Amino acid sequence: MNHLGAAKVTVVPGGTVTQPFFAVTGKIITVNGQQVQVYEYADEESASSDAARISPNGGTIGNSMVDWIAP
C-alpha cells in the first residue's frame, strides 16, 4: 500500500475476504474509489500453486467459475 500511496493514488484499507479457491485470506483495499482484493502469500511456491489453477482468461479457478463484477 505504501507504493500505491507514493504513486499519488488514494488507498483506504478495508477488511478481509475469503475465497474458496485461494489458500490464503485476502485483504480488501479501496484504490481511487474502486474495491480491490489483495492476496499475499508467505512464499513463491504457495503463490504459484494457486496461480496455476487460474485459467488463462480468469473465468475459472480450479473447479469454480468466477464472475468478475468490475470492468
The torsion angle over the Cα atoms of residues 59, 70, 34 and 24, rounded to 10 degrees, is: -20
C-alpha cell at 51: 496461480
**pLDDT, tens only, 11-61:** 999 999 999 999 999 999 999 999 999 999 999 999 999 999 999 999 999
DSSP H helical segments within the chain, as ranges? 2-6, 44-51
Q: Which residue has the higher pLDDT, 55 or 5?
A: 55
Check residue 71 and give its pLDDT.
Answer: 63
